[in-house]
Amino acid sequence: MALREEVGGDAVQEEPVEEERVMMPAAGSDDDMPRVRLTRKQIVAFATFILICVGFLYVVLPNISKLSHEGPSVHGIEGADTWWLAVGVGLEALSFAGYVLLFRAVFVHDDGRIGLRESYEITMAGLVATRLFAAAGAGGVALTAWALRRSGMSPRLVACRMVAFMVLLYVVYAGVLLIDGIGLGTGLFPGGGAFAITFLPAMVAASLFAVVGAMALLPGDLERRLSRLAKGSGRAAHVMTRVVAVPALAASGVRTAADLIRARDVGLVGAAAWWGFDVAVLWSMFHAFGSPPPFTVILMAYFVGMIGNLLPLPGGLGGVEGGMIGSLAAFGVEVHLSVLAVLAYRGISFWLPTLPGAVAYFQLRRTVARWRRQPLPATAGAGGSAEPAGVLQNS
């Protein structure tokens, strides 16, 4: 799938669309909304894949698990407790609210262009791009970065803050894997579990913390030091210049995240809310169909299953479900109950936000068009206020 990057002036530029192609969001550009070029044949193949996955996951798999075993305490899909389903929808809404809260804590300042409405549009459009397109969420990151640049933030500041945002979000992920894995493996938490499903995820989480910690220790002038290697002209020097900027950017983003934590901004609780309320949706779905296993087991199965988002599938479709169901089975949870609960959870967390996210995508286009017609705030390029010490200076 070929990426199309378009760079233009401040005026909105319309490109003719080839007869056999349509445009969809993906990684991208500095002016027009990030797009990816898809042929009609690719769209048909994509739609067919989605229909096959949905049919297997939501029709075939529940029936297979029902034939294998259905305990007397497990209800079928038609017997789901609607009250718990409604609770799950409310919890998912709170999860998205937490995401918006974290976004505002990291990116938004009172004197900038991005208010609450714009924050909602950017985050929802980015999340729907993450869910509908593969590449481990790169589409959502590109769309978010594009909107922030169009709001007036400098590219380097956007990149640094995006790293800080991801660090703040996934430090919660790694922290739960580490604590819950050790607790389950040692018997401190109820649920038990083998080494591969308890200590191994905890070891992976510890490795992630070590990598992030090492980044924070890199010197602040690392880019200046490494840039000496990129002196000269030509393609090789240009490539080297871009390469040496990566570790400096990562280190600056990690330090910025640490500065935000030290500042104790209340908005940072949005990271815990994003994960916590989403896990609670899965917990509520167990209640909707039967009796849930220990919450610590649900936590571990949830976070291990989320690794399926790294697969080259739209929103990890199939991979996340398989990972969660397999993890629950490893803890001895009844298969039919796990299948129903996980698929109901994914129905809420994956499919429910798709429509409002698509609406937010088109709203964001109109918002950016309005920004183009308005002068930039005096402090927009600097992010609206003084930045923490770890932030890269504007280029």
In the chain, the number of structural domains is 1
Residue 56: inside a domain: no
Place 156 in a pLDDT band, splitting at 50, 70 and 90.
confident
Residue 142: inside a domain: yes
Query: Is the distance from CB of 305 to CB of 324 less than 8 angstroms?
Result: yes
pLDDT recorded at residue 352: 80
Q: Is 291 helix (H, G, I), strand (E, B) or coil?
A: coil
Which residue, 152, 144, 142, is CA-closest to 113? 152
Strand partners, 39: 21
Residue 23: inside a domain: no
Please count the CA atoms within 13 angstroms of the CA of 144 that sit on its side-chain side.
29
Range of the structural domain that residue 106 is part of? 77-382
Residue 231: inside a domain: yes
- For residue range 196-219, list pLDDT tens digits in order: 999 999 999 999 999 888 877 776
Question: Average pLDDT of 221-232?
Answer: 57
Residue 5: inside a domain: no
pLDDT recorded at residue 107: 92
- For residue range 159-187, list pLDDT tens digits in order: 899 999 999 999 999 999 999 999 999 99
Q: Tokens standing for 325?
A: 């169901």
Residue 306: inside a domain: yes
pLDDT recorded at residue 39: 54
Burial class (CB in 10 A: 0-12, 13-18, 19+), 136: middle
What is the reported pTM?
A: 0.76
Residue 54: inside a domain: no
Q: Which residues contact 102 (CB under 8 A, 6 or more apart)?
A: 165, 168, 169, 267, 268, 270, 271, 273, 274
**What would the DSSP string read from start to end of 310-321?**
GSSSGGGTTHHH
Residue 190: inside a domain: yes
pLDDT recorded at residue 63: 56
Distance CA 362, CA 257 (A): 31
